[in-house]
Structure formats: C-alpha cells, structure tokens
Amino acid sequence: MGEAQSERRRHPRVNVGGRTKGTVNAVHDVALLDISLGGALIEHTQVVQPGIAFDLVLTLLGQKLKLRCRAVRSVVSRSEAQAKGEGKLIYRTGLQFLQPAAAARQVISDYIRSIIDDEQKGGANQPDVAGPLEQGRLQPERTPGKWSQRP
C-alpha cells in the first residue's frame, strides 16, 4: 500500500494474514486480511461491487459481532488455476464499518491488541495460517430486485 493511502486512514490497520475465515452470503468463503477500528480488507472469489452495504458477522476472541459495513473498493487480486485448467479470480475488497457499537469497537480493539501482542512475542501464540482463527459472514442488505448501493 502506498504512502498516500496510509495517510488517508483514520485508523491504523493490523495485518491478520488471512487467519480469520468467514463466509459471504452464508455461502462464499472469505479471508480477513487486515482489520482496524474503521474497516477491514477481505479476500474472496465472488464479485463485489463498491457501494453495496453489508452486515459483516465475525466471531473475534469468542464474541460474535454484527458490523454494518460497505464495500469501498474491490479489485481482482490474482487468478488461481483450477483442476480443469480454468482460472478462478480472487478479489480483495476494502470494507468501511458504518457506526459500529461501542461494545463491537472494544472487541475489535482487543482483537487488534492480541495480534500486536503475539507479534511482539515472536508469534508463538499465533494459530496456523491454514486453520481458521475466527469465523465471519457477510450478509448483503437486500432491496427488491437488487442489492443496496455502496459508496
């Protein structure tokens, strides 16, 4: 990420490296790549258009959170080869949390602190990257015939 992008952030993000797993629309898998008090970056295989509003459901530190968010940007990150020679596109989507409750902000803050503490200890307590640390799910807000608009 460029210097100009990091200067625009109100909240510093912590890289969780995809250890936190979840689903989109209760069907499609996502990986949480980073998180801050203001938003998150997820990786997934489904197209997400910027501007669509979502409920992001995460379980962090054993606590289930329902966070209102919207996709700020979504780009193709890479392509992965499939069994029959077809390619599968992998997307990265930046999410902005929309007015999270104080209790949810505290859980996110505690989660971020736990990641930072583990990094300072040399990562001895960090879970295996291949195994899910926490679970989450994105649920789009539905409007008749289409998804809600994102910014």
Q: What is the pLDDT of residues 37-73, one digit of tens each?
A: 999 999 988 888 899 888 787 888 988 888 888 999 9
Q: Note the pTM of the prediction, 2 decimals.
A: 0.71
In this predicted structure, what is the pLDDT of residue 111? 92
8 A C-beta contact, residue 45 and residue 90: yes
> What residues contact residue 75 under an 8 Å CB cut-off, 6+ apart?
91, 92, 93
Residue 94's DSSP bridge partners are 41, 73
| Domains of the chain by start residue, with CATH | 7-124+131-141 (2.40.10.220)
- Provide the H-helix boundaries in the chain: 3-8, 102-120
136: confidence class by pLDDT, cuts 50, 70, 90: low
19 pLDDT higher than 80: no
What sections of 23-132 are H helices per DSSP?
102-120
How many Å apart are CA 51 and CA 40, to the nearest integer?
15
CB-based contact 52:60 (threshold 8 Å): no
Which of 3-17, 19-33, 65-79 has the highest average model confidence (pLDDT)? 65-79
Q: Give tens-digit pLDDT for 97-107.
A: 999 999 999 99
Task: Taking residues 22-37, report their average pLDDT.
Answer: 71
Express as a percent the part of the chain with pLDDT over 90.
Answer: 32
Mean pLDDT confidence for 8-17: 70
